[in-house]
Amino acid sequence: MAKIISATEATKLFKSNQTLMIGGFLECGLPNQVIGELLKTDMNGWTLIANDTSTPNTNKGRLISARKIQKAIVSHIGTNPETVAQFNAGEIEVELVPQGTLAERIRAGGAGLGGILTPVGLNTEVAKNKQIITVDECDYLLETPLKADVALIYATYADKFGNLSFYGSTRNFNAVMPPAAKIVIAEVDELSDAPLNPNQIVVAGVFVDYLVVRGQNAA
């Protein structure tokens, strides 16, 4: 059963220099309440694994602007000029990963795989310093798995067992990250005392350690 905590209490699960996965896609499906509390702390030096770095004044982008991120492993940074400026100044390291490859590397981390093989990025900068493996006369890049110390995700619905469900496209990277992290915190809109319908469960509660219910204090 997942433990219900406040957004402020959730910050105690973080430390400087950790690797963090944060779900969401630009403005869609973001754990904004916990991110806001993290900005109040003096922690920094984080490696961020996420789809993007958002914009300078919203969700994940605020962590960039506050200079709490030392490395970003993302699919793009074009919507955040602050990320670009810090990268050009040598103040942040950025690893750009094709979006589908990023999702699969996270999935591989959660599934205990040694990596994935993909043709995406062959003969481009993406392939630099990476191993090429030939299977049935076709070349593939070996992409290594991604794991995190903490995954901070969003969900629309949760039950007290930690099972999660999503509305529409809010599932995005929120659904694939939990198995790949040591600690999983889900910020949710609604918490149900009754178990969710099994047909609606996208992330099983076995992967979720803590729930933060928006607008509520810890039980």
For residue 59, what are its two tokens? Answer: 């969700």
User: pLDDT per residue over 25-77, tens digit each?
Assistant: 999 999 999 999 999 999 999 999 999 999 999 999 999 999 999 999 999 99
Residue 88 belongs to domain spanning:
3-113+145-213
Within-domain flag for 154: yes
Averaged pLDDT for residues 121-150? 96
User: pLDDT per residue over 89-113, tens digit each?
Assistant: 999 999 999 999 999 999 999 999 9
CATH of the domain at 63: 3.40.1080.10
Within-domain flag for 33: yes
Q: Which residue has tokens 């994940």?
A: 60
Strands 46-49 and 69-74: parallel
Any bridge partners for residue 150, and if so which? 20, 183
Averaged pLDDT for residues 168-189? 98
Q: What are phi and psi of 31, to 5 degrees?
A: -85, 65
Measured between alpha carbons, how far is 68 from 44 in angstroms, rounded to an integer? 4
The pLDDT score that the predictor gives to residue 219 is 44
Within-domain flag for 135: no
Question: Number of structural domains, the chain?
Answer: 1
The DSSP annotation for 61-113 comes to HHHHHTT-EEEEEESB-TT-HHHHHHHHTTSSEEEE--HHHHHHHHHHHHHT-
Averaged pLDDT for residues 160-168? 97
- Helix (H/G/I), strand (E/B), else coil: 17: coil
Within-domain flag for 48: yes
Within-domain flag for 20: yes
Within-domain flag for 73: yes
- Residue pair 34/10 in contact by the 8 Å Cβ criterion: yes
Within-domain flag for 201: yes
First vs last C-alpha separation in the chain: 13
The DSSP annotation for 177-200 comes to SGGGEEEEEEEEEEEESSPPPGGG
Within-domain flag for 219: no
For residue 94, what are its two tokens? Answer: 């950025």
Is the model's pLDDT at 141 over the cut of 60? yes
